[in-house]
Amino acid sequence: MTTPAGKLFSIHEALALVQREAELACVGRNIEMVPLERSLGRVLAEPIVAEMPMPPFDCSTRDGFCGRASEFNSGQPMRVAQTLQAGQQVAGRVEQGECWQIMTGAELPPGADCVAMVEDVEKLAGGAIRLGNDRRIQPGNNFVPRGSSAAAGTVLVPAGSRVRAQEIALVAAMGVASPSVFTEPRVAVFSTGNELVAIDANPTATEIHDSNSYALSALVEQAGAHAARLPVVADTKDALRAAFCSTEDFGAIVLSGGVSAGEFDLVEETLSEFGAEVLFPGVRMQPGKPAVLARRPRRSGGWQWVFALPGNPVSAMVTFQLFARPLIRALGGEMPVPLVFAYAPLRSDWRGASGLTRFLPGRLSAQGVEVLPWRGSADTFAFSRANCCVVIPETASEVVAGSSVQIWQWS
């Protein structure tokens, strides 16, 4: 199936469509409970709520001495009445003329309104202390008031959040041993092409090793899904039909190759036999112009999303990150957010043809961003040295050095 050039989507149209589909995909996911230590990278199905104030008591943030700021600032000696360790129950209150030694993490006792750090006090004969001559202290210094981080009932981590180490700390602090998370989506990954052979095979002079299925499987795993990498699929309708039949139960398919306009580019035509709906048939971009997003109905209900990406490795990886990654993350329950671009000054002039949005390998530094030399969408070596893409709008044929350009950091 060939598509007239006029029907290609702009990059903005394609991204907006992906955003809408992602919002649809993240609804109605299955839920399971997993041990907290295995929840890293998963998406919370239920919010984590503060069952108590955070912190639950006035908490010292320093090792030192707690008392009244007015008495510390008077310069008079203060008797050290007690010592408080973290976790120790407070008994009594700080009386006038005295202070208590206190450790980081301990509860501030009644009667104290500040903590003087160890290094800011002088120790006197008889075990008394006083604030150093050049030191002053204010009420509220060096302790965190009860509930100042979060009041009881506060949603600490909303449902739909992907769990990082920061979230694990909050979940553990609330005593949740097995949070509820959305099940990981299963994604089938395969490459198409008669020229491709397995990586442990010896290619002939006209064959190459399949690298896309490995790179795309890695990107699927990074997106929070389980990748099932399949053998290379030949450029025939029978082989493609068999591949689509065997992957019907997966939440998504990511494939590369077979989506250009050549005689043996049969992916779209074969997909149509399975009732698939093409959502966009290509994008006005480089690399990645032939990228196709489709969805087909599943016998079990709902949709299966199919990402038919170009065969050149850089094209496949760039279009995966732009279009497949947000949808796959949504299949795992994560609430979709629009793609974020930053800006940086271009370090040297760029010239090229207009008409396509360019995603060029870039190197961002404190001095700005430079476009790295590259030899097209098969040049994985150039992209391995990049730390961002420089995004040139489709209307531009020239950008002068010093101009602010969009950058996209996707790795």
Shortest CA distance to 15 belongs to which of 385, 410, 303, 301? 410
Chain segment 150-193, per-residue pLDDT in tens: 999 999 999 999 999 999 999 999 999 999 999 999 999 999 99
pLDDT recorded at residue 99: 97
CA-to-CA distance for 51 and 57, rounded, in angstroms?
14
Query: To the nearest whole number, what is the mean pLDDT of the chain?
Result: 94
Highest mean pLDDT out of 104-113, 294-303, 377-386: 104-113
Mean pLDDT of 235-254: 96
Q: Start-end ranges of CATH 2.170.190.11 in the chain? A: 59-144
In CATH terms, the fold of domain 5-30+184-331 is Molybdenum Cofactor Biosythetic Enzyme; Chain A (3.40.980)
Query: Would the pLDDT of 364 be above 80?
Result: yes
Mean pLDDT of 257-275: 85
Its CATH architecture, for the domain 342-408, is Beta Barrel (2.40)
In CATH terms, the fold of domain 40-53+150-181 is Molybdopterin biosynthesis moea protein, domain 2 (3.90.105)
Contact of 228 with 189, CB cutoff 8 Å = yes
The CATH number corresponding to 59-144 among 3.50.50.60, 3.40.50.360, 2.170.190.11, 1.10.10.10 equals 2.170.190.11
Mean pLDDT of 309-315: 95
Which residue would you say has higher pLDDT here, 201 or 4?
201
Look at residue 326 and give its three-state secondary structure. helix
Q: Start-end ranges of CATH 3.40.980.10 in the chain? A: 5-30+184-331
pLDDT recorded at residue 284: 96
Q: How confident is the model at residue 28 (pLDDT cuts 50, 70, 90)?
A: confident
The two three-digit tokens of residue 400, written as one number: 């002068």
Q: How confident is the model at residue 27 (pLDDT cuts 50, 70, 90)?
A: confident
DSSP states of 290-323 = T-EEEEEE-TTSSEEEEEEE-SSHHHHHHHIIII
DSSP 6: G
Predicted structure pTM score: 0.85
Q: How many other β-carbons are positioned within 10 Å of the β-carbon of residue 186? A: 16
End-to-end, the C-alpha distance of the chain in Å comes to: 33
Look at residue 371 and give its three-state secondary structure. strand
pLDDT recorded at residue 6: 43
Query: Would the pLDDT of 237 be above 60?
Result: yes
DSSP 387: S
User: What's the half-sphere exposure (Cβ side, CA atoms, 13 Å) at 208?
Assistant: 10
CA-to-CA distance for 217 and 139, rounded, in angstroms?
56
Mean pLDDT of 352-356: 94
Shortest CA distance to 174 belongs to which of 157, 187, 197, 159? 157
Q: Start-end ranges of CATH 3.90.105.10 in the chain? A: 40-53+150-181
Q: Start-end ranges of CATH 2.40.340.10 in the chain? A: 342-408
Shortest CA distance to 80 belongs to which of 127, 20, 136? 127
Mean pLDDT of 257-279: 87
Query: Would the pLDDT of 393 be above 70?
Result: yes
pLDDT recorded at residue 202: 94
